[in-house]
Amino acid sequence: MQESVHVGRGGSRGTRYLVSSGLLFAGAALLAAGCHGSSGDGNAGEKKSADKKEAESVTITWWDTSDSTNEAPKFKDLISKFETKYPRIKVDYQNIPFDQARDKFKTAAQANTAPDVMRAEVAWTPEFASLRYLAPLDGTAAAEGIGDYLSAPLATNHYEGKLYGVPQVTDALALLYNKALLQKAGVAEPPATMDQLKQAALAVKAKAGADGLYLVPKGYFLLPFIYGAGGDLLHTDQKKISVNAPEAVKGLEVALDLIKSGAAAKPDLNSGYNQMQAGFKDGKVAMVINGPWSVADDFSGKAFADKNNLGIAPVPAGSTGKSGSPLGGHNYVAYAGSKNLDASYQFIQFMNSAENQAYLAKELGLLPTRSSTYKLPETAQNAVVSKFKSVIDKAVVRPTIPQGGQLLISLDQQYPRAVSGDKTPQAALDAVASDYKQFLKDWN
């Protein structure tokens, strides 16, 4: 069901004049007296009112879906700078858990209580736009320097020929590894293929006294295996559901083999990401597949007190000979029902400037979406950013359809069932395909 948000500005005034014939000339005289000494501008009162309104402070609400511990403080720093530069605009900052944000925004938008600005995952933007929850940004301050954005991240912000967001950060999955543990296991170079990944992980387990690998049993983290085996979730040009095709099943089988063989630790099916991070930071896990958002957290662990111990390489290639990292990231979007759209556009413009993207890259290792940011010294000299930039350049763009935000939900449910042995790889992905058919009814 699509919901439409109709935004009205201003209003109408109706003034009724009752003039009797006996008071006509007296009223005219009074009118002339009342106008004595005026500028003669009939809109003077309205102009003063507009000037007063311009001088008044406005408050915009921003829903930030970043990590509340490591990333949020840096975004708050930028907000302080914004409020200093634009003292008329105050920002009500709210950190919303990522896994709750999509549904929470849709519920709020239906009730006309959504935030003015949101940090939306790339798959959510076309979905929200199709529901008419987002304001087009074409020609606004938010879209300033639109030609500076990298083409792949920018593509996720268009829907039916209009721009509904600007890319705040881009990312992709890479192989992160503990150099010391690999060296202890006699692994000279990070594995470049899935077969090498298995052998390196088993060597770590046998010689370094740590788990070689940890895989998160979530749909997004399964994508490198599906893509690396030549599979995909959908063939959008053919309107075909392909998540249960032989190539995708093969990708899932590769991931499961790493776990069953002992090369990867048996994952926690409920809090796998947190368990992975804890083990990696403590030096109990040698290799993980994760994104640039995790680097600041990694550096907080004892295993990476020496930051040079963190290695970054492309996700090992699958049977196709290619790495299958999915392109991810987040966009700034503005709520169509906002009463402060101009202030919202100004906020997005400020937060997404090349200089502020460089600040976030330096402090958090986040990957900028503006080409010019990569030329700034603090970004160009950042080893983490440069390593991930090479991964981004070869990442696989996920389907940019309104239903894109739903594609990982079923994978999140079925991947753990395959890990636990409750379902075969084929049965698990058949269930995903069946779920897809519920919201892609005209697809094959």
- Under CATH, what is the fold of the domain 57-171+328-392? D-Maltodextrin-Binding Protein; domain 2 (3.40.190)
What is the rounded average pLDDT of the residues 429-440? 97
Crossing angle for the helix pair 194-207 and 246-260, to the nearest 10 degrees: 10
Burial 198-222 (b: 16+ CB within 10 A, else e): bebbbbbbeebebbbbbbbbbbbbb
What is the rounded average pLDDT of the residues 353-363? 94
Q: Provide, rounded to the nearest whole percent, the portion of the chain with pLDDT above 70.
A: 88
- Cα–Cα distance list, 224 to 147, 256, 284, 314, 394 (Å): 30, 13, 23, 10, 12
Chain segment 86-119, per-residue pLDDT in tens? 999 999 999 999 999 999 999 999 999 999 999 9
Q: For 91, phi and psi rounded to 5 degrees?
A: -115, 120
pTM of the shown model: 0.79
Model confidence at 55, pLDDT cuts 50, 70, 90, reads low
Q: What residue type is 96 in one-letter code?
A: I
Q: List the structure tokens of 187.
A: 């692994």
- Cα–Cα distance list, 165 to 122, 125, 257, 279, 419 (Å): 9, 7, 40, 36, 37
Give the chain's end-to-end CA distance (angstroms, integer): 22
In CATH, 174-325+401-439 is 3.40.190.10 = yes
**Predicted local distance difference test score (pLDDT) of residue 26:** 37
C-alpha span between 385 and 292 (Å, rounded):
8
Higher pLDDT, 291 or 4: 291
What is the rounded average pLDDT of the residues 14-43? 37
Cβ neighbours of residue 140 under 8 Å, at least 6 residues apart?
Answer: 341, 345
Average pLDDT of every residue of the chain: 89
What is the rounded average pLDDT of the residues 32-36? 39
Partners of 210 in the β-ladder: none
The 10 Å Cβ neighbour count of residue 416 is 20
Chain segment 325-335, per-residue pLDDT in tens? 999 999 999 99
**Predicted local distance difference test score (pLDDT) of residue 245:** 98
What is the rounded average pLDDT of the residues 53-60? 78
**Predicted local distance difference test score (pLDDT) of residue 18:** 32
Place of tokens 């009730």: 111
Q: List the structure tokens of 364.
A: 């958090």
pLDDT surpasses 50 at 161: yes
**Predicted local distance difference test score (pLDDT) of residue 15:** 35
Chain segment 111-154, per-residue pLDDT in tens? 999 999 999 999 999 999 999 999 999 999 999 999 999 988 99
Would you call 189 exposed, middle or buried from its count of C-beta atoms within 10 A (0-12, 13-18, 19+)? Answer: exposed
Locate the domains of the chain by residue range: 57-171+328-392, 174-325+401-439
Instruction: Decide if 57-171+328-392 and 174-325+401-439 have a common fold.
Output: yes
C-alpha span between 99 and 120 (Å, rounded):
11
Partners of 63 in the β-ladder: 94, 118
- Cα–Cα distance list, 171 to 153, 366, 398, 405 (Å): 9, 8, 12, 17
Three-state helix/strand/coil letters over the chain: CCCCCCCCCCCCCCCCCCCCHHHHHHHHHHHHHHCCCCCCCCCHHHHHHHHHHHHCCEEEEEEECCCCCCCHHHHHHHHHHHHHHCCCEEEEEEECCHHHHHHHHHHHHHCCCCCCEEEEECCHHHHHHHCCCECCCCCCHHHCCHHHECHHHHHCCEECCEECCEEEEEEECEEEEEHHHHHHCCCCCCCCEHHHHHHHHHHHHHHCCCEEEECCCCHHHHHHHHHHCCCCCEECCCCEECCCCHHHHHHHHHHHHHHHCCCECCCCCCCHHHHHHHHHHCCCEEEEEECHHHHHHHCCCHHHCCHHHEEEEECCECCCCCCCCEEEEEEEEEECCCCCHHHHHHHHHHHCCHHHHHHHHHHHCCECCEHHHHHCHHHHCCHHHHHHHHHHCCCECCCCCHHHHHHHHHHHHHHHHHHHCCCCHHHHHHHHHHHHHHHCCCCC
The 10 Å Cβ neighbour count of residue 339 is 12
C-alpha span between 370 and 374 (Å, rounded):
7
pLDDT surpasses 60 at 75: yes
Q: Give the residue among 164, 132, 130, 129 at the shortest CA–CA distance from 146.
A: 164
pLDDT surpasses 70 at 22: no
For 230: left if phi > 0, alpha if psi spans -120 to 50, otherwise beta; the answer is: left
